[in-house]
Every structure is written in structure tokens, then in C-alpha cells.
Amino acid sequence: MNKKLLAMMSAMVMCFSALPLHSVHAETDDNIVNPDCAETYVDVMPKISVDTEDVLPEWIPQNFTEALHFDNTYGKTHIEDGLICCVRKKYNRIDCNKYLTEYSGDDSMGLLTLFNETYNFVMPEKPDESDKEAYQKYLDFIDENYISKYIEYAEHYGHEININADFEYEVTVYAMNPSSSVDIKWIEKKPQTDRIVSTTTLSFESSADGVITETDLYGWFPDCLGECNFKRISIVNGHIVFCDDICYDGGYSLITEQDGTAKLECVASDSFYGTTIMPSPPGSSPIVVKAYKPITSGTVKVTFKEAREWEQDGQEASKTVKCYNVDEDGNITEIDESEVTLLNMGDCNLDDKFTVSDVVMLQKWLVGSGELKCWQNADFNNDNRVDVFDLLLMKKALTEKLPLVPQKSEKVTDDDITMLKQTALMKYPDTDMSDFTFVYEPDHQLNHQFNGKLFSVYYKDVLLHGYGDINTDQNVYAVIKKEKNNYKSVEMNFVVDPERFREVNLDGEYKSAEEIKESIDKYAMEAAEQEPQFIIYVDWISGFNYELKPAYLVKWRDYECIYDAVTGEEIEYIPYFVV
């Protein structure tokens, strides 16, 4: 490391390590295109100015072009020479968002800001070719910024060359005290409403001897094209990782199917074209990266397909089958397909049949007698554990014969309600579920995705509504599904912990349904299928961040709108792509 930099860092550690965290409003640089969009708040001391040419290592970006190459090589962060360099892309359009930064960490000051600058793209004028040095410098510039092809095209067809980047780069360099940890949170908000649209948390730890490591997901998961150096399918850090190009422009996407006693869930997903000033040309295929983590042990067969989802019998562009064993500690090893135990619900003794002997085996196991050869085949309610509720469902599955698809006129039975209540009590044992009720919804937009009866969920007679009425990940619902071997299982999704719905004040000063109707075009309101319905809306922000809002729901045949009950403003417009 540069001796001058090392001496400066040592002095700063001694001076500032005992200072508590405090809040500072960082001033905006004059060269930012839209200063209102670059407002940044930090929870550490003001930055310490350094002589960049004399102190900072060469790998740290000190202009827009270098930041662009950093973005494509390292992504958001890179650690070297005992320093953390973070490069953040900020869009500087007229309607751009506000960008904020928050810090949290040890009680003592664990992080020092050494350098902070923002760089914009400036297109130079083309010099006369007779000035060979200046012209070569110009050619190097357009090549380093990946715009040479665009300029060649414009010059060939006589178009005016007008290249501007709609983003800028903020480069920040940090040093850390030994034996400390810190979280750096990047927040992006809407400028008018302060609504959070995205958050990214970067976490770092420094050992006693000053070695810094990134401990968040991006410490190993790629966040740029330059880091996509995995094999097509590999095992990395206890995850199964897919990394390959997918022809999105051709309508293709990555589809994964799994069967076996082990279960995997996708915990990270991203795609990269490579950052350029100009948009990627039509027909480009990004590199898609997905990470799957085991949630149960066992064996599993995973099929990775590049196909068009709407073409059930369409030709697959590619197909790869991999088989894995997952041990009790979550360690993954690749195995042969013949070693995979496929799911056969009810077959606890692995004799390829579901009979009364399987029920007897489960009964004995539950009282501590005997073994369960395949517990996954006994997990009838799909909650990744086996208990007396699974035994009840197993007995019912062995004796009941139910229609494959419930008709819209089908009535809800007492057994259905019992199953829903039992599942709720199991899934949320510390929550009083007495205020929550389930209402059968045969015409719900999610019904096309389930083979069973779908229920909306109400809290104190108020509908709980998730982000998107056709989204299974972020919507509130319960469904009794008809599975293989004539048994029923319950899938229940609250998006957030049910206790959080109790925090919503249902008696606040809110707009009335009539006031909401007055804010809607009268012809649109006449075409609506219902009056504005008061609901609790689970408003997705980013990652796992949700905000619960009292709101009104208005439905039309092909879409719905959600209106804030406080302001009366529209929150979401949700089209129904499947009707």
C-alpha cells in the first residue's frame, strides 16, 4: 500500500475511532445535472479530502470512464489495498429519484470516508484528423466508453452525433478500523412522495489484523458482467448457481423444475448486458444468474430449461438436468439421477405404494417408535416438517375420493375451514388468528394458477390485499390444493407476519368511499364491478421491504386500481394479464 496513504489512514483511525455516529447532510456537487436528485444523507462524519493523484491507488476510478470500467469489472464494490471502493450509478434525468445513504455498525466509529466524488459523462468534440495526437486521444475515448460503433453508424448515415449518458457515478472510498463491522445502505426514493423504490445493503467486516471482507450476498454473487465467471451450472457457497445467456428478446426465459425429497428456493437473481452509455441493441442476450439454496435435506432432480413459458409444447432452446444430494448441514454434492428419490406422497416406507402400512409407520414414528424412511412423503401440508396434522391429512388422503378440479359452485365444507385454521395455527403459532377469516373466491384472478379452492383473507372484516392480484409471491391468499394421490394440502401466504396487520389503525381519519368515487372518472366508475372497498394494502417497496397501508380497491373486468385511503391518490394500477 502507498506509504502516504497508510500513514494518513493510521492517523485518522487514532483521531476518529472513539467518535460516536452522528448525522450529516452532504452538500451536492456543482457538476451534477439535476442537484435535487442527488440529495444524500450520511450517518458518519464528513468526508476527509485527500490528494487523489498522490494517495489513491490507480484501481480507484477518478473519472467517468474509469467508473464505467469499474462497474463492468467489479460491480458495486471492490476491496483492495485495505480500502473499500463503492461505485454507485445514479440516474440524472429530470424525473429521477432521490439517492440517500445510511450507515450502521459498531458502537465505535468503524468506517472512515476518505474520498467521495461524482463523475458525469462529457462527450468531447471531434478534433481534426491532422492533429494525430488529439485524434488518437478522441478514438481512445470513444473506444473506452463503448460508443465507437454508434459513432461509426451515425457518421456512415450522416446523422448528428449527440451522445449523452442519463446516469452519473458516485465513487466513495472507505477505510475501516480493525475488528469492526458496518452496513452501508443505499436508498432510492421518489422525489415527490419520498416513497422508497429500492434499497441495497452492503455489509463489511474488518478482522483484528485489518483484513476487510464483504459479508453480504454480493461478496460472492455477481453484480456485473465481469463477475459472471461461473460455469453454466455450478455449486458455489452452499448454493446451486445457474449462469448463462438467455434470449430474452426472443421471448425465452429460464424455467426450473424440481422433483425429489430435497427442496430448493431461488434466493438471488439478476441479469447483465454490461453497462454502456447507449442502450443494448435489439436481439441482445443478457447473462442470467440465479442462485438456489436448499431448504430441506434429501435428493433432488433439477431441470433447467430455456423456453417460452406460454408455449406448453414449444421447442426448448436448451435443457440441462442436474441431480444433487443435500445433507443435514446443507452441503450440496452432485449425484447420478438413479440416486434421486422422487416424491411419492404417502409412501413413507418407500415400497412405491401408499397404503395403511404407511399410516401405521407415521403413527409409530410420531410417538417415538420406529423409523420414517422418507419424511418428505409424509409432509402433506408442505410446511417442511412432519407432525400430527400431517397424520390427519394422510388418513383423509387414504380414504377420500375428491374431484380433481373444484367447480365454481362447489361449497366450502367444515373440513376446509378446519384445514385452514390448523395450517394458520401451525404456520403462525405465536399469533392469535381469531381476528382472521377466510372467504372462498371462485372468481379470483389467482385461481388459474391453482388446482383447488382459493380464499381471500380478512382481518376484522377488512380485506388483506397484496402487491398485484395475479402475483403469488406478493399477494395475500390461502388455497386448498388438490395434489397427487387424492390428498389436499394448504398453501397460505400473508406476505408479512400477520401480527403486522394489527399495527394498522383501522379507525383513522380516512377518505370515504364516496370521496374516492369522486376522484375517479365518472364513466370509469360506472364501468367498475364494485363500489370502492376498504382494504389493507401490502405495498411492496423492494427486497423484503413492505409497507401496510389503509386503501381502497376498485375493480374492473381487466384491471384494478388501489387508492391511498389517506390522500386518495392512486397507488397501483394492476392489469390482469390472465382473465
The DSSP secondary structure of 102-113, one letter per residue, reads: EEEE-SS--EEE
Query: Using CA of residue 101, residue 106, residue 107, residue 109, what is the dihedral sign?
Result: negative
Inter-helix orientation angle 388-399/414-427, to 10°: 150
Q: What are phi and psi of 74, to 5 degrees?
A: -115, -20
| Contacts (Cβ under 8 Å, ≥6 apart) of 121 | 64, 145, 164, 165, 168, 277
* CA 344-346-348 angle, 5° bins: 90
In a domain, 249, yes or no: yes
Residue pair 75/227 in contact by the 8 Å Cβ criterion: yes
Answer yes or no: pTM beyond 0.75.
no
Q: Do residues 292 and 422 share a domain?
A: no
pLDDT of amino acid 119: 95
**Domain that includes residue 245, residue range:** 228-339
Q: Does residue 348 share a domain with residue 289?
A: no
What is the number of domains present in the chain? Answer: 4
Rounded distance, CA 390 to CA 380, Å?
5
User: Which DSSP letter does residue 195 get?
Assistant: -
User: What is the β-pairing status of strands 452-459 and 332-334?
Assistant: unpaired
Q: What is the CATH number of the domain that holds 245?
A: 2.60.40
Same domain, residue pair 460 and 379: no
One digit per residue, the tens of pLDDT, for the chain of length 579 reads: 555 555 555 555 444 444 433 333 333 333 333 334 444 444 444 444 455 555 789 999 999 999 999 999 999 999 999 999 999 999 876 667 789 999 887 644 678 899 999 999 988 888 998 999 998 998 898 888 888 777 877 777 777 777 878 889 999 999 998 989 999 999 998 887 788 888 899 999 999 999 999 999 889 999 888 888 888 899 999 999 999 988 876 778 888 998 998 989 888 888 887 767 766 666 567 889 999 999 888 999 999 988 887 776 667 888 899 999 999 999 999 999 999 988 888 888 888 888 888 888 888 898 888 888 888 888 888 788 888 888 888 887 776 533 333 334 456 777 788 888 888 888 887 778 888 888 888 777 676 667 778 888 999 889 998 865 555 667 888 888 876 656 678 888 888 888 888 889 998 899 999 998 888 877 678 777 788 999 998 887 655 567 888 999 988 766 788 899 999 888 877 765 433
Q: Is 428 domain-assigned?
A: yes
Cβ-count burial 371-385 (b if 16+ within 10 Å, e if not): ebbbbbbbbbbbbee
Radius of gyration of the chain (CA): 29
Specify if 139 maps to a domain. no
E-strand spans in 12-166? 24-26, 40-42, 77-80, 83-91, 98-105, 111-119
416 membership: H or E segment, kind and range: helix 414-427
Would you give the distance in Å from CA 69 to the centre of its chain? 26
Which pLDDT does position 158 carry in this prediction? 77
Q: Which amino acid is at 388?
A: V
At 404 the pLDDT is 31
Give the rounded distance of the alpha carbon of 421 from its chain centre: 30
Sign of the C-alpha dihedral, residues 146, 148, 149, 155? positive
Strands (E), 230-380: 233-236, 239-245, 253-260, 264-272, 287-294, 298-307, 318-326, 332-334
CA distance 556 to 537: 18
As given in the structure block, the three cell numbers for residue 174 are 472507505
Q: Is 387 domain-assigned?
A: yes
Residue 375, in any domain of the structure: yes
Edge-to-edge strand list for the sheet holding 212-214: 98-105, 180-189, 196-206, 212-214
What is the reported pLDDT for 556? 77
Q: Cα separation of 185 and 86, whole Å?
A: 11
**Whether residue 214 is found in the same domain as residue 258:** no
* Nearest of 462, 463, 460 to residue 435 by alpha carbon: 460
- Same domain? 351 vs 331: no
Q: Which amino acid is at 570?
A: E
User: What element of type H or E holds 12?
Assistant: helix 3-16
**How high is the pLDDT of residue 276?**
74
Q: How far apart are CA 180 and CA 203, in angstroms?
A: 11
What angle in degrees, to the nearest 10, is found between the helix axes of 148-156 and 132-144? 110
HSE (side-chain half, CA atoms, 13 Å) at 173: 23
- Give the domain-ending residue among 182, 201, 219: 219
C-alpha–C-alpha distance, residues 114 and 57, integer Å: 12
Please identify, among 312, 339, 366, the residue that sits at the C-terminal boundary of a domain.
339
Together in a domain, 364 and 430: no
Three-state secondary structure of 150-190: HHHHHHHCCCCCCCCCCEEEEEEEEEECCCEEEEEEEEEEC
Is the domain of 433 the same as that of 379? no
Residue 393 and residue 380 in contact, taking contact as beta carbons nearer than 8 Å = yes
Are 110 and 54 in the same domain? yes
How far apart, in Å, are the Cα atoms of 260 and each of 138, 320, 340?
59, 16, 7
Q: Grid coordinates standing for 243? A: 449462469
C-alpha grid cell, residue 333: 454434492
Contacts of 507 (CB under 8 A, 6+ apart): none
- Does an H or E element contain 540, and which? strand 533-542
Co-location of 571 and 434 in the same domain: yes
Both 77 and 207 in one domain: the answer is yes
152 inside domain? no
**pLDDT the model gives residue 54:** 58
Q: In terms of domains, do 12 and 83 share one?
A: yes
Beta-carbon contacts of 355 under 8 Å, excluding residues fewer than 6 positions away, are 398
Task: Select from 307, 323, 339 the last residue of a domain.
Answer: 339
Dist CA 255 CA 303 (whole Å): 8
In a domain, 405, yes or no: no
Residue 72 lies in a domain: yes
Q: How far is CA 518 from CA 254, 345, 521, 537, 557, in A?
A: 45, 54, 8, 21, 20
State the CATH number of the domain containing residue 379.
Answer: 1.10.1330.10
What is Dmax (Cα atoms) for the chain?
92
Run of H or E residues at 81: none
Residues 489 and 551 in one domain: yes
